[in-house]
Amino acid sequence: MPSSTRFRYRIFFMVLLVAVINYIDRGALSYASQHILSEYGFDKKEWGAVLGYFGYGYMFGALVGGASGDRFGPRKVWLWAGVAWSVFEVATAFAGDLGLAFFGGSALAGFAMIRVMFGFCEGPAYSIINKTVSNWATSRERGFVVALGLLSTPLGAMLTAPVSVFLLTVTGSWRWMFVVLGVTGLLVLILFMKIFTNLPEQNPRVGALELAEIHAGRNPAQSAGRTATAGEASVSWKDFFRSRTLMCNTLGYFSFVYVNFLLLTWTPKYLQDQFHFSLSSLWYLGMIPWIGACFTVLLGGRFSDWMLRKTGNLVYARSWFAALSLLLTTATFLLVSQAESATAIILLMTIANAFNALPNSVYWAVVIDTSPSSTIGTFSGMMHFMANIGVVLAPTLTGYLVTAFGYPAMFIAAAVATCVGMAAMLLVRPGKL
């Protein structure tokens, strides 16, 4: 089989594709809300809980997946996680009925079990993306390639609306929507496993020139596949909590996650309740808040790498850049909370989400910049685990806030979260564990 000098970009593309499917799978439930609420009689607080159950499993899946990627290699984790989350995506179609049959007649308990397990299996994805990028990307393209993987967040969220509405309309059943999505995920995973290896040097499709390019410019602490040095071997998971940089970076990432899951889970119901949009309108209205983020997540990775080349200063390129982006996010969400027309609110939501996505690659790049290669998966998983409190908090807290204070309160809460993240990123010093 002939070797290539650009094969790694096929790997990056497949990582993006798998991650997009991962994101559509988790967001599809939001577009089935009207069907599920009418069938099982959930109120807003219970629906907020249903949306939040995913996060409990997701947190621990991220932690286990990151450590497993370091120990067993990313390929095995991609395989078991991808198969498992696709199976539980299919099982979501029967979650309520399982609860009624086996959990004391509680449909809510059925959704809790399935969504927690589904979240656990989806949890490893972004930690393993970081491990994969660490192994396959050159040092000069790392920020952009991290951003390419993270493009799956806004792109997947944007595509969730048309894909979900299309499947709901064509099949006429919210249950069939989950079955189709789960089977599609399994098929794409098979294609990915046919070409993916843990390291580029293990792949016959990677030529000597490309392999030399991948390893060029890496410092010894970031060379994939090598034996750990004595200093690196002494680094343990406890060092994550001793590092101001990694802990503050995690708080910054939490603010991103909070906003992301707030918009992913509550936008469809918000638009239906507040402005009485129909399901047929949501296929395009649900896309709009994510359009700008699809561009800014890539722009942010490019800009961060450019700043690093120009200044040679990781603090400017990562920390200050992220803090400024979060400041703009905070200001825009405060404007959203005061807006009244649907047009103004959707436009401002789009701008806020675009600012929020701008530094997304920074959080993951800081882990690579700061961690020895033997702990990148573990530390990525720990960051993901802690930040994913936002996955639970955003939909669950919003259910209470909306019930008690109305929908503007959810945007004020988002502004508070990003303001805290901004302050934390000012304390980040990449490269200093």
The list of the chain residues with pLDDT below 50 reads: 1-3, 220-231
CA 412 – CA 393 distance, rounded (Å) = 14
Q: Which of 255, 376, 389 is nearest to 323 (CA)?
A: 255
Residues 6+ apart with CB under 8 A from 229: 220, 221
Instruction: Give residue 224's pLDDT.
Output: 40
Distances (CA, A) of 68 to 87, 269, 429: 20, 37, 27
Instruction: Give residue 233's pLDDT.
Output: 52
CA 192 – CA 184 distance, rounded (Å) = 13
CA 318 – CA 308 distance, rounded (Å) = 8
* Chain-centroid distance, C-alpha 240: 21
CA 326 – CA 423 distance, rounded (Å) = 9
Amino acid at 378: T
With contact defined as beta carbons under 8 Å apart, do 29 and 51 qualify? Answer: yes
CA 11 – CA 164 distance, rounded (Å) = 27
Instruction: Give residue 116's pLDDT.
Output: 96
Instruction: Give residue 420's pLDDT.
Output: 97
CA 363 – CA 59 distance, rounded (Å) = 17
Helices (H), 123-224: 125-136, 142-150, 152-171, 174-195, 208-215
End-to-end CA distance of the chain: 42
Q: Residue 203, SS3?
A: coil
Instruction: Give residue 225's pLDDT.
Output: 40
With contact defined as beta carbons under 8 Å apart, do 245 and 220 qualify? Answer: no
With contact defined as beta carbons under 8 Å apart, do 119 and 54 qualify? Answer: yes
Instruction: Give residue 99's pLDDT.
Output: 94
* Ordered domains of the chain (ranges, CATH): 8-206+235-425 (1.20.1250.20)
Instruction: Give residue 44's pLDDT.
Output: 81
CA 216 – CA 74 distance, rounded (Å) = 22
CA 177 – CA 172 distance, rounded (Å) = 9
CA 5 – CA 207 distance, rounded (Å) = 6
Instruction: Give residue 217's pLDDT.
Output: 58
Residues 6+ apart with CB under 8 A from 97: 107, 110
Per DSSP, what are the bridge partners of residue 138? none
CA 11 – CA 74 distance, rounded (Å) = 12
What tokens appear for 243 in the block?
Answer: 């590092």
Residues 6+ apart with CB under 8 A from 122: 22, 25, 26, 54, 57, 58, 61, 81, 85
* Chain-centroid distance, C-alpha 425: 19
**C-alpha Rg value of the chain to the nearest Å:** 21
CA 221 – CA 204 distance, rounded (Å) = 25
